[in-house]
Chain A
Amino acid sequence: DAGVIQSPRHEVTEMGQEVTLRCKPISGHDYLFWYRQTMMRGLELLIYFNNNVPIDDSGMPEDRFSAKMPNASFSTLKIQPSEPRDSAVYFCASSGGPIINEQFFGPGTRLTVL
């Protein structure tokens, strides 16, 4: 079975550009999570969806970040405009349940904003 799929795997962009990260969760999972990982702050939950509905976006750093989940098999995380401090690895994860279930992570997108 395919795991969580993320694209692109690497993204290098210039400050001010729009960046869109993509995620395909594991089929049948009804929870989807977006995380950001940096050396300074570790792994931070940005937002999570349940049945395609955003439930908690309190981790989204600012209005430049937005996330959507138009259907059960696709989600995007958009940064507009991007800034150098957004450079990080962004992980998408999916789960069959929020509390007691394992979260399966995608391989991540390594974003560098110059």
Chain B
Amino acid sequence: RKEVEQDPGPFNVPEGATVAFNCTYSNSASQSFFWYRQDCRKEPKLLMSVYSSGNEDGRFTAQLNRASQYISLLIRDSKLSDSATYLCVVNMRTGGFKTIFGAGTRLFVKA
């Protein structure tokens, strides 16, 4: 089993739709969590951090469920510009430090 797993998609949604992605992680020692966005042929960029209490940034909401070991990203009122690959990232201390990126979920928003 991979340490961080995501549904690769692609998710094809119309503009204005609400779409949700989940990401599961296997190591309970995981300490911090992020969602990154990566556009085609570009570098990953931080979308938002994920906190236990949940956090919202405009149309984007991230949640963490430590008991079930998953994080989620909800995008409301999706825009054409939201089309990208969304990567979940898990950082953990296992003696040293380890950062693991999920394989990414591809989103296409269509007019």
Contact = CB atoms under 8 A, between A and B. Distances in A.
Interface stretch (A16-24, A41-49, A61-69, A78-86): A41-49
Given A42-B103, A43-B101, A99 B93 contact: yes
B34 A102 contact: yes
B42 interface: yes
A110 B72 CA distance: 31
Nearest to A44: B101
B56 to A, nearest CB: 18
A107 interface: yes
Given A42-B101, A45-B99, A56-B98, A91 B32 contact: no
Contacts of A100: 31-32, 49, 91
Nearest to B102: A42
Which range holds the interface residue count of chain A? 20 to 34
A43 B98 contact: no
A104 B43 CA distance: 9
Given A42-B104, A43-B44, A99 B87 contact: no
Contacts of B96: 55-56
B36 to A, nearest CB: 8
B45 interface: yes
Contacts of B103: 42
Interface of A: 33, 35, 42-45, 48, 55-56, 91, 98-100, 102-108
12 contacts: A33-B99, A35-B101, A43-B101, A98-B97, A98-B99, A99-B91, A99-B93, A102-B34, A102-B49, A103-B99, A104-B46, A105-B45
